Structure 1
Amino acid sequence: MDTKFRKAIRPEHRLAITLWRLATNVEYRTLAGLFGVGRSTVGFIVVDTCQEIINVFQERMIRIPAGQKLEECVARFAGRFPQAVGAIDGSHIPIKAPVKNPKDYFNRKGFYSVILQGVVDSFGSFIDVNVGWPGSVHDARVFTNSTIYQKLMNGSAFPEQPIQIGGCNVPLLLLGDPAYPLLPNLMKPFSDNGRLTNEQITFNNKLSSCRITVEHTFGRLKGRWRILHKTMDHELKNVPNIIMTCCILHNIIEMHHDPFMNQWEVDAIENNGQEIAQQDPVHANARNIPQAATVRNALKEHLAY
């Protein structure tokens, strides 16, 4: 509100400051000069505006598809991988070394980060986001402590819409890489032990051709919102909200088909592409479920023809 000493910063002004910060990761000093506000004020504005965006838009913009939208997601992958709604993966968001427990945030790639676990639909929009785990944590541990894991395990993630494939009921499912456990509604590739059959290779290739959607989504996310591409100079407590805000804005922009320059995505994927393959998880709560192997084998036989 206005006071006798200064005028309040208008909402559109606050939003512009926040979007500029998220899109460029430019330092506060530069933003303060561009918008004619105090340097410390910029920091407060960015944090507060991100929280407001989350309060207003998170539940509306990041949610598992239903009805016609769900059918469209499944249809988009149907020719390559039946029953797939989308894909899941993790991405490391660079941060400055935290004051407390910095080793926990030092990841296998050699920098400090927090993990963004994203579930995206076949159109490349986020339908579930889990963010904030330290960079040293295995993707499987992040997954088994997330709400999407609980929903997949109790059957509430997707409606019961199985189809018969090779005498097996195949439910709606997500696609993941080898770091994730094999579940009836989460398919991952067959482990490449050098003795894969042609059918297993075909299965892996078709799964990969769909799962790459999540990698491209991370590329577009980081390409538009450069604060996620460079080292984020924010207090650790504020980092999850900033990342969540970028995911929400990503969905809004994708929904309105905003133009995207291909070079932005290449830059972001190059940074994210330094992935070092994680070994299969050893966490007790991330074990493969026997029924899942039956579903995967039915899909393997189906996709071979």
Structure 2
Amino acid sequence: MEEEELLRSLMFLMTYMLMKRRRDINNANVQRRNEIQRRIRHRQYFFQRQRRMLMMMIAGGIRSNVRIRTRPWTTTPSTDWWERVVMTEFQPSDWLDKFRMSRETFFYLCDKLRPRLARQDTSFRLALPVEKRVAVALWRLASNIEYRTISTLFGVGKSTVCRCVRDMCHAIVALLSSIYLRPPSEQELEDSAQLFLSHWGFPHCVAAIATLHTAIITPSNNASDYANPAGWLSVLSQVAVSGRGQFWDVCASFPGGTDPADILQNSSLWATAAEGGLSPEPPPIFMGKPLRYVLLGEACYPLQSWLMKVYPEEKGRRASHAALTEPQRLFNRQLTRALRVPEEALLRLRARWQCLSKRNDCGLDVVPTMILACCILHNMCESHGDAFKAEWQVEVAESESPQPDHKQLLSTTMDQSHAEEVRHLFCDYFEEQNN
């Protein structure tokens, strides 16, 4: 009896092992057939792709040898719009309208960015020329139109447009910051002070600080931090503008709800100006006393010996300060007038590069670099004397949301102790000039 049980168990075990072996063999055969079919499909796709690329190259060679009559841009195929229309038929006004700079400045920019933007051809694809990569990116910065439209216009993929914009902005910041966004020299400080005095009537001033809000799409994290005082989402930037309307310092990438005073105190501009880096040694003479050059700022900034802001206006009987004197009112009027320098510079910046005036749908990792790149391009165009069209400014003023107003800083805890003495010197100066 025991032998029969043992034999039955042994037969059951052998039957199980045989069935398992047969199942494993069947599974292996199925996997082998699937792998063979996958390789066949991959090889067919590879050969079809090679055949399509070969046909495109042949067709491109045929089109390049065929003489095509001149047609309007709207009916020109995207495959030759760049090579034929832009490079051969664009007039100076066309370069200015489409790329916001002259033809000479455009090719100067291409030469400067070539070390970072040049790509090598591969066996399957011809690399885009540097000039076309720059043109694609500039078109995006100047118009802020969607990638799909630019893709159709230039005959490239949407991902290529995105990559061109990202690569060019990073290349501009890396290669051109040292030329067009750098601390000023002593001669530039003196020239800027002369411009503030001659054009705006404010003496001993070399720059003005202002803020710029750039509208963005809703971020995935901490969206409430990006709500600015006007209620819409933005990235906040701090800029220092010289008397020529060019940017000397740009501090970008802060959420729109950040206090501008906090940005200033944590910026390199604060450390540089506090240490006298924006004034020559020895300090120039003002009202019979040696005094470092000053900067002008909005009412949301703290009063410093190197940063002047207006006296707080009286707000009724409960105001904690006395009524302003006539010299103080005169000081406020002159300072407010001089603050038009950064206001006009930022308006020209947003008008020339409309990606900063409309809602920017790029990621938050790209927007700060894009802002810096636009400021550098602004300085480059201004330095090269490229024309600025008034209709750009009118278009932006009509379409964009107004820039938010920041609250006036009434607390004196952040003010420097002897800054009031410096501000009083300017009051005495304006009183003398008025008399």
**Is contact 1:107–1:135 with CA below 8 Å preserved after alignment?**
yes
**Is contact 1:165–1:302 with CA below 8 Å preserved after alignment?**
no
User: What are the equivalent positions in structure 2 for 1:211-250 lying under 5 Å apart?
Assistant: 211-250=339-378
Query: Normalized per residue, which structure has more helix?
Result: 2
Please name the residue that 1:87 is paired with.
Answer: 208
**Is contact 1:85–1:122 with CA below 8 Å preserved after alignment?**
yes
**Is contact 1:86–1:122 with CA below 8 Å preserved after alignment?**
yes
Number of paired residues?
Answer: 303
1:215-261 deviations in whole A, cap 9, x for unaligned? Answer: 10100000000000001011111111101000000000011121112
Local SS of the residue matching 1:236? coil
Please name the residue that 2:423 is paired with.
Answer: 296
Query: Normalized per residue, which structure has more strand?
Result: 1
Which gives a bigger RCO, structure 1 or 2 (Cα 8 Å, sep 6+)? 1
Please name the residue that 1:140 is paired with.
Answer: 261
- Does residue 158 in structure 1 map to residue 279 in structure 2? yes
**Cα 1:281–1:89 shift into 2, 3 Å:** farther
Please name the residue that 1:198 is paired with.
Answer: 326
- Shift of the alpha carbon at 1:282? 5.6
Aligned counterpart for 1:278 among listed residues 407, 410, 421: 407
CA distance in 2, matches of 1:82, 1:273: 30
**Cα 1:189–1:269 shift into 2, 3 Å:** farther
**Is contact 1:87–1:176 with CA below 8 Å preserved after alignment?**
yes
- Shift of the alpha carbon at 1:82? 1.4
**Cα 1:151–1:164 shift into 2, 3 Å:** same
**Is contact 1:179–1:278 with CA below 8 Å preserved after alignment?**
yes
CA distance in 2, matches of 1:173, 1:279: 20
- Does residue 254 in structure 1 map to residue 375 in structure 2? no
**Is contact 1:73–1:85 with CA below 8 Å preserved after alignment?**
yes
Please name the residue that 1:52 is paired with.
Answer: 171
1:51-101 deviations in whole A, cap 9, x for unaligned? Answer: 111111011101232132222111112241211001001110111111011
Aligned counterpart for 1:69 among listed residues 184, 188, 212: 188
CA distance in 2, matches of 1:44, 1:161: 49
**Is contact 1:168–1:294 with CA below 8 Å preserved after alignment?**
no
The Cα RMSD (Å) is: 1.8
CA distance in 1, matches of 2:240, 2:138: 24
Higher Cα radius of gyration: 2
Q: Which runs of 5+ in 1 are unaligned?
A: none
Q: Which runs of 5+ in 2 are unaligned?
A: 1-119, 316-322
CA distance in 1, matches of 2:133, 2:257: 35
**Is contact 1:161–1:172 with CA below 8 Å preserved after alignment?**
no
- Shift of the alpha carbon at 1:211? 1.5
1:273-301 deviations in whole A, cap 9, x for unaligned? Answer: 443241317696xx100111110001111
Local SS of the residue matching 1:34? helix
1:119-167 deviations in whole A, cap 9, x for unaligned? Answer: 0100100000000000000111111111101111222233235344445
**Cα 1:53–1:281 shift into 2, 3 Å:** farther
Local SS of the residue matching 1:200? helix
1:168-212 deviations in whole A, cap 9, x for unaligned? Answer: 432111100111111111111111125211111110111111121
Aligned counterpart for 2:140 among listed residues 21, 25, 34: 21
TM-score (norm 2): 0.67
